[in-house]
Amino acid sequence: MHLERVDPDNLPSLHDDEATVTGKVPGSRKLRERFDELHDRLAKLQRVFYADGRHALLVVFQGRDASGKDGTIRNVCGAFNPQGCRVTSFGVPSTHELAHDFLWRIHNAVPPRAMIGVFNRSHYEDVLAVRVHELVPEAIWSGRYQQINAFEAGLVANDVIIRKFFLHVSSDEQRERLQERLTNPERNWKFRAGDLDDRARWDEYTDAYREILGRCSTMDAPWFVVPADDKRVRDYLVARELVDTLESLDLRYPEAAPDIMRYASLVD
Ligand code: AMP
Ligand code: MG
């Protein structure tokens, strides 16, 4: 069970049935064990990633309200040492941010080498919420796909590894989670009236997401559609992709100074 990069020539439909995995899923105990194992591997990989210092890793999470962005970040990125990881959430831009180009606040949050940067929403909102709610004219947002690709290509050329995850929930699952959110006093603070407005525009968001997948899933900065109705499956799939990404990098601890053993005898 693993994710495939989105192939723009074979776009996912993003229908509700794609929010669950097809084929055999391990039982919940087995899945838990396998997730825990990936979690341990992620923790070890992050340590050597930091020491190696040659790359930055940028992990982008997008998804509708209640698709599980917060939960995935907590469960999967919780494996990383907080010193080596920074999570940035992008909400409605401030007046100050709006006075700049749309990528300004994004670029500012891109991780430096040795660090892992996690985006909870991202520059893709500028072709999602902005497009669906007509916050800028089409002539403006339609140019952004190309600007985003150029921006991401520039980052990749400068040692930033990019992985983008769309957490795909079905309409029924989102309804249940939003209802839960309204009735649970520990969760209802997350609810905003705008969530229902976005839910009412379900199909427009689907079109906007498909356009992103079709235009911005590149070789170097691929998109993955994560079937996210089942939270454990979701976490497992994202963790597995990040393990594979980090393992493909041939990470190494730097060589110690040649005379290091001389110092060892001096520690008293
Ligand atoms: P949440 O993730 O639930 O805290 O909500 C953040 C809200 O900010 C969502 O409704 C996003 O659509 C919205 N948002 C994020 N980025 C932008 C943007 N660039 N322009 C307009 N709305 C945005
Ligand atoms: Mg929200």
Amino acid at the residue 179: Q
Phi-psi label, residue 60: left if phi above 0, alpha if psi -120 to 50, beta otherwise: beta
Taking only the tens of pLDDT, the chain with its 268 residues reads 999 999 999 999 999 999 999 888 999 999 999 999 999 999 999 999 999 999 999 999 999 999 999 999 999 999 999 999 999 999 999 999 999 999 999 999 999 999 999 999 999 999 999 999 999 999 999 999 999 999 999 999 999 999 999 999 999 999 999 999 999 999 888 888 888 999 999 999 999 999 999 999 999 999 999 999 999 999 999 999 999 999 999 999 999 888 888 888 888 7
For residue 93 the two structure tokens come to 């831009």
Nearest to 237 by CA among 222, 221, 250, 226: 226
DSSP, collapsed to helix, strand or coil, labels residue 27 as coil
The Cα 14–Cα 210 span in angstroms is 8
Q: Which of 69, 101, 125 to mutate to test the pocket of ligand 1 (most atoms within 8 A of CB)?
A: 125
For residue 16 the two structure tokens come to 């509700």
The Cα 57–Cα 160 span in angstroms is 6
Q: Which of 92, 124, 128, 169 to mutate to test the pocket of ligand 1 (most atoms within 8 A of CB)?
A: 92
* CB-based contact 123:102 (threshold 8 Å): yes
Query: Which ligand is in closest contact with the Cα of 65?
Result: 2
Q: Does 92 sit in the ligand 1 pocket, CB within 6 Å?
A: yes
Please state the φ and ψ torsions of residue 89, each to the nearest 5 degrees.
-105, 135
pLDDT digits (tens, 9 = 90+) for 219-261: 999 999 999 999 999 999 999 999 999 999 999 999 988 888 8
Q: Does 130 sit in the ligand 1 pocket, CB within 6 Å?
A: yes
pLDDT confidence of residue 258: 83
The Cα 122–Cα 63 span in angstroms is 10
Dist. CA 63 → ligand 2 center (Å): 10
The Cα 72–Cα 252 span in angstroms is 27
Nearest to 225 by CA among 77, 21, 73: 21
pLDDT confidence of residue 190: 84
Dist. CA 101 → ligand 2 center (Å): 23
* CB-based contact 44:8 (threshold 8 Å): no
Please state the φ and ψ torsions of residue 189, each to the nearest 5 degrees.
-65, -20
Dist. CA 94 → ligand 2 center (Å): 16
- Token look-up 């749309």 returns 102
- Token look-up 């999570």 returns 87
Cα–Cα separations (whole angstroms), residue 163 to 58, 61, 111, 127: 6, 9, 13, 18
- Token look-up 């940067």 returns 117
Residue 242: half-sphere exposure toward Cβ, Cα within 13 Å: 37
Q: What is the DSSP string of 55-72?
A: -EEEEEEEESTTSSHHHH
